[in-house]
């Protein structure tokens, strides 16, 4: 499996980035995980012409080529960061590259709740008609007290959380495989979608 792991923050120091970096290393024998930073994407605004910004096109291309997407989100005021919302708005408004794409949501926070409300918020957004991602059901990976969760080598040291992450990732690989097979058997072809500005 090839997965694109999206770092859902523009912070230079983030335990969500550390979580994805650990997953990339820890699951290297099971999947190829590429980390992607969204902090360099332009803030979303309706373009005056039909040109998709280069960085947005790059992200869309990587999503389309991946078997699935892993998103790590922190929690700001019970919601996802503005930079992640902006990135998703670009995808929704332009390429809709997340349509039918298997997605696993994970999150880390300094508090005890592990970004639970932000993850619920992200699920709502990804389920919207113009994104329509295939979100793995009944799955939450909530890493609380994340400032103490990693050693100097970037390894996750909470043994209970490591076991939980192993199980969730195995399920996601299976979910990805099942989703791909399901979509191959779809008899209804997707209608050609136009960008909002083309309608």
Tokens of 66: 């991946």
The predicted model scores a pTM of 0.92
Q: Long-range contacts of range 11-16, CB-CB < 8 Å, 24 or more positions apart?
A: 11/39, 11/74, 14/74, 15/74, 15/108, 15/109, 15/110, 15/143, 15/146, 15/147, 15/149, 15/150, 16/72, 16/73, 16/74, 16/106, 16/107, 16/108, 16/115, 16/146
In this predicted structure, the answer to whether residue 199 has a pLDDT above a threshold of 80 is: no
* Domain limits for position 124: 2-184+192-198
Residue 22 confidence class, pLDDT cut points 50, 70, 90? very high
pLDDT by residue (tens digit) across 85-132?
999 999 999 999 999 999 999 999 998 888 999 999 999 999 999 999
pLDDT by residue (tens digit) across 147-161?
999 999 999 999 999
CATH number of the domain at 156, please: 3.40.50.360
In degrees, rounded to 5, the angle at the alpha carbon of residue 57 between the alpha carbons of residues 83 and 76 is 10
Percent of the chain with pLDDT over 90: 83
Q: Number of structural domains, the chain? A: 1
Separation between Cα atoms, residue 19 and residue 150, nearest integer Å: 9
């Amino acid at each position: 499996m090839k997965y694109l792991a999206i770092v859902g923050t523009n912070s230079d120091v983030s335990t969500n980035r550390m979580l994805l970096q650990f997953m990339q290393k820890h699951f290297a024998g099971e999947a190829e995980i590429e980390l992607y930073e969204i902090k360099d994407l332009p803030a979303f605004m309706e373009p005056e012409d039909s040109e998709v910004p280069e960085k947005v096109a790059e992200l869309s291309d990587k999503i389309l080529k991946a078997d699935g997407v892993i998103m790590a989100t922190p929690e700001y005021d019970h919601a996802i960061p503005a930079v992640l919302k902006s990135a998703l708005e670009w995808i929704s408004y332009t390429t809709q590259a997340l349509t039918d794409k298997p997605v696993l949501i994970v999150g880390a926070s300094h508090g005890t709740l592990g970004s639970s409300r932000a993850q619920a918020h992200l699920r709502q957004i990804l389920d919207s008609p113009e994104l329509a991602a295939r979100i793995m059901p009944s799955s939450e990976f909530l890493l609380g007290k994340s400032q103490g969760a990693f050693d100097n080598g970037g390894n996750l040291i909470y043994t209970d959380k490591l076991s939980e992450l192993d199980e969730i990732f195995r399920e996601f690989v299976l979910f990805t495989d099942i989703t791909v097979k399901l979509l191959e058997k779809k008899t209804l072809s997707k209608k050609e979608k136009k960008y909002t500005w083309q309608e």
